[in-house]
Amino acid sequence: MNPQDILRYVDSLHRDRNIDPELLFQAIESALQSAAKRQYGEESDVVVSISRENGQISATLEGKPLGDDQIGRIGAQTAKQVIIQKVREAERDALMIEYRDQIGEIVSGMIGRADGGVATVNLGNVEAILPRSEQIPGESLHANERVRAIVYEVRPQGGNRVRVVLSRTRPQFVQRLFEQEIPELNDEVIAIKSISREPGYRSKVAVSSDDVNIDPISVCVGYRGSRIKAVREELAGEHIDVVRYDSDPEVLIPNALQPAEVDQVLLCDMIGRAIVLVKEDQLSLAIGRRGQNVRLASKLCGWDIEIMTGSELEEQIERAVTGFSQIPGITEEIAQTLVEQGYLSYDDLSVIEPDQFAEMAGLTEEQVDEIVEMAEAKAEEAERAAADERRVRRETEKLDRERAEMEAHMPASEKTPPVEEQTEATATEEAETENAATETAEESVAAGETADEPSAESAVENSEDAPNADSTAETPTAAESTEEAASPEETSSEEPATVGESASASESEKDSGGNA
> Residue 447 in contact with residue 481, Cβ under 8 Å?
no
> Residue 205 in contact with residue 239, Cβ under 8 Å?
no
Tell me which residue of 431, 393, 401 sits closest to 516, measured CA to CA.
Answer: 431
| β-pair type (264-268, 239-244) | unpaired
Identify the pLDDT of residue 469: 38
304-362 confidence digits (pLDDT tens): 999 999 999 888 888 888 888 888 888 888 888 888 888 888 877 777 777 777 877 77
Three-class secondary structure of residue 162 per DSSP: strand
Percent of the chain having pLDDT more than 90?
30
Three-class secondary structure of residue 34 per DSSP: helix
Distances (CA, A) of 305 to 139, 252, 349: 31, 12, 18
Tell me which residue of 163, 173, 233 sits closest to 197, measured CA to CA.
Answer: 173
DSSP per residue, 294-336: HHHHHHHHTSEEEEE-HHHHHHHHHHHHHHHHTSTT--HHHHH
Identify the pLDDT of residue 70: 66
pLDDT at 447 over 50: no
Tell me which residue of 287, 357, 369 sits closest to 328, measured CA to CA.
Answer: 369
How sure is the predictor about 26, in pLDDT bands with cuts at 50, 70 and 90?
confident
Min mean pLDDT across 102-111, 181-190, 464-473 is at: 464-473
Rounded mean pLDDT, 293-313: 93
Q: In the beta sheet, which residues pair with residue 154? A: 164
- The sheet carrying 304-308 orders its strands as 264-268, 273-277, 304-308
> Residue 148 in contact with residue 202, Cβ under 8 Å?
no
Rounded mean pLDDT, 135-147: 89
- Whether a cis peptide bond, with omega within 30° of 0, leads into 259 is yes
Q: In the beta sheet, which residues pair with residue 196? A: 204
Domain with CATH 1.10.150.20 in the chain: 312-383
pLDDT at 435 over 80: no
Q: Which CATH architecture has domain 3-97?
A: 2-Layer Sandwich (3.30)
Identify the pLDDT of residue 413: 62
Domain with CATH 3.30.1480.10 in the chain: 3-97
Whole-number average pLDDT of the chain: 77
Of 180 and 11, the one with more pLDDT: 180
pLDDT at 116 over 80: no
Domain with CATH 2.40.50.140 in the chain: 102-169
**CATH assignment of 312-383, among 1.10.150.20, 3.40.50.1000, 1.10.40.60, 1.10.3720.10:** 1.10.150.20
Min mean pLDDT across 149-158, 413-422, 484-493 is at: 484-493
> Residue 160 in contact with residue 265, Cβ under 8 Å?
no
Distance CA 33, CA 47 (A): 6
215-257 confidence digits (pLDDT tens): 999 999 989 899 999 999 999 889 999 999 999 999 999 999 9
CATH topology (fold) of 102-169:
OB fold (Dihydrolipoamide Acetyltransferase, E2P) (2.40.50)
Rounded mean pLDDT, 185-193: 92
Rounded mean pLDDT, 462-489: 39
DSSP per residue, 95-109: HHHHHHTTBTSEEEE
Identify the pLDDT of residue 10: 81
DSSP per residue, 188-227: TSEEEEEEEEETTTEEEEEEEES-TT--HHHHHH-GGGHH
247-280 confidence digits (pLDDT tens): 999 999 999 999 899 999 999 888 888 999 999 9
27-40 confidence digits (pLDDT tens): 788 888 887 787 77
**pTM for the whole structure:** 0.63
Distance CA 514, CA 192 (A): 72
- Label residue 296 left, alpha or beta by phi (over 0 means left) and psi (-120 to 50 means alpha): alpha
